[in-house]
Each structure stands twice: as C-alpha cells, then as structure tokens.
C-alpha cells in the first residue's frame, strides 16, 4: 500500500467515525444544523458535509466540534465518555489525526475526558512542509518541546525558531502554524489545554 493510499484510508475512516458521532451528539442535545454551525463557527454546509462523511476534518475543525459539544477530541472520536473513571488508571490508544504523503503526521497520544481538553500530542513535520491551524477557543494554551531537528512556530504575526532541546509556551487563540526549519524532520511533543464552552447552551429545535 502506498503512502498516499494509507493517508486516504486514514482520512476516510476518520470521516466515517466522525459522521455518525456528530449526528448522534447533535440529536442527543437537540441541536439544529444551524445551531451547531453557530456554536462551532463553521458553515452549515460544512456541518452537513461532516455529518454525511463527505468532508475531511482538520485538527482545528475537530477541536471546534469537541468544544461545541463540551467534549475532548478523544471523547468526540469515541462512543464512550467517562467523566469519572472507577479506576485511577486508564489505558488509551493513540490516534493519528493528520498525516501527509511525505510522512508528516500529528498523533494524539492521550487526553482527558470532559469539557476541558488537556491533550498530549506527538508531531513530525517533514522538510518543506507546514501545518496551518485556525484559531482555537479563547486563551487556549500549548506547550511545545522539540526532540529532533528545528521547528518554526508562528502565532499570528510572530515567528519563533526552536532547535532540538528547546521549548516554548504558546497562546493559540489565533491562527498559527508549525513548519520544519531545515533539511531534517522536526519532531516535537505538544501539550494542549483548551476549555470547552458552557454546558448549559440553550438547545434549538432539530432540523
């Protein structure tokens, strides 16, 4: 199987899982398509395409949807939500949520459940590639630690080059991006803290 086929298969599987999950969550919360579009800041057409499995969601879109439903991204992609686990230990499975044909990828290693998204990611950005992200929820914080190569981080109009062994604190409630800053892959870990919206949003009549 070629790299391009693997990427396409991953996107198709993610789109299929997300389609049924969004529809079920929207019906559970008696939200109309218009109401969900307003909560996420996405167009109604995009929401419809996501529910039909006809759109490939970016990480930013996943974050917007999760925040709208007061869930973590991990909860959004799972049918089981457990806000108060019986055990202090819980095994999780990493999920690749973005990849390119050249080998770049973003893997969600683990996250908390519930309204507040606290996530740990592993990233690889190949030389010549860049990942651009939309603004997250207000006051979203990220911690980055570079393990290999050099990473160019842009938040708004500011750019910072991080080398292996260096880290940075980011506030990513505006457009931002990550790119390899050299001829070697940039490998880094990222912790994200993003708080979900209010749980008592007034529901709208379903479409």
pTM of the predicted model, to two decimals? 0.75
Helix (H, G, I), strand (E, B) or coil at 37: helix
| Of 32-41, 54-63, 123-132, 164-173, minimum mean pLDDT range | 54-63
Query: Once rounded to an integer, what is the mean pLDDT over residues 13-19?
Result: 76
- How far apart (Å, rounded) are the C-alpha atoms in residues 100 and 7? 7
Residues 145, 163 contacting (CB under 8 angstroms): no
Any idea which of 11-20, 100-109, 175-184, 197-206 has the lowest mean pLDDT?
A: 197-206
pLDDT at 137: 81
The number of residues making up the chain comes to 207
- pLDDT, residue 2, reads 39
- The tens digit of pLDDT for each residue in 19-75 reads 889 999 999 999 999 999 998 888 999 999 999 888 878 888 888 888 888 888 888
- End-to-end alpha-carbon separation of the chain, Å? 41
CB 85 within 8 A of CB 109: no
Which segment of 27-36, 88-97, 140-149 scores lowest on mean pLDDT? 88-97
3-state secondary structure of 66: helix
% residues pLDDT > 90 (the chain): 50
DSSP letters, 91-125, are: ----EEEEE-TTS-EEEEEEE--SSEEEEEEEEEE
User: What domains sit in the chain, N to C, each tagged with a CATH number?
Assistant: 3-76 (1.10.260.40), 95-195 (2.60.120.10)
> What are the Cα distances from residue 151, in Å, to 14, 56, 119, 163, 182?
27, 26, 20, 6, 8
Per-residue pLDDT for 207 more than 80? Answer: no
Res 5 pLDDT > 70? no
How far apart CA 169 and CA 143 sit, in angstroms, is: 5
Q: Taking 90 as the threshold, does the pLDDT of residue 108 lie above it?
A: yes
Query: What pLDDT, on a 0 to 100 scale, did the predictor assign at position 12?
Result: 61
């Amino acid at each position: 199987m070629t790299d391009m086929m693997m990427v396409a298969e991953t996107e198709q599987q993610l789109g299929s899982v997300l389609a049924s999950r969004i529809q079920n969550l929207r019906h559970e919360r008696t939200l109309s398509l218009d109401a969900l579009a307003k909560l996420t800041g996405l167009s109604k057409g995009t929401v419809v395409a996501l529910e039909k499995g006809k759109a490939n969601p970016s990480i930013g879109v996943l974050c917007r949807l999760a925040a709208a439903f007061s869930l973590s991204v991990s909860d959004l992609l799972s049918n089981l939500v457990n806000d108060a686990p019986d055990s202090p230990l819980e095994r999780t499975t990493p999920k690749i949520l973005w990849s390119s044909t050249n080998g770049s990828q973003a893997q969600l290693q683990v996250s908390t459940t519930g309204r507040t998204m606290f996530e740990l990611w592993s990233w690889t950005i190949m030389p010549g590639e860049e990942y651009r992200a939309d603004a997250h929820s207000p006051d979203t914080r990220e911690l980055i630690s570079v393990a290999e190569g050099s990473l160019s981080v842009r938040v708004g109009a500011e750019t910072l080059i991080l080398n292996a062994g260096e880290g940075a604190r980011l506030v990513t409630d505006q457009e931002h991006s990550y790119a390899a800053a050299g001829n070697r892959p940039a490998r880094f870990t990222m912790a994200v803290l993003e708080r979900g919206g209010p749980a008592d949003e007034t529901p709208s009549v379903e479409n």
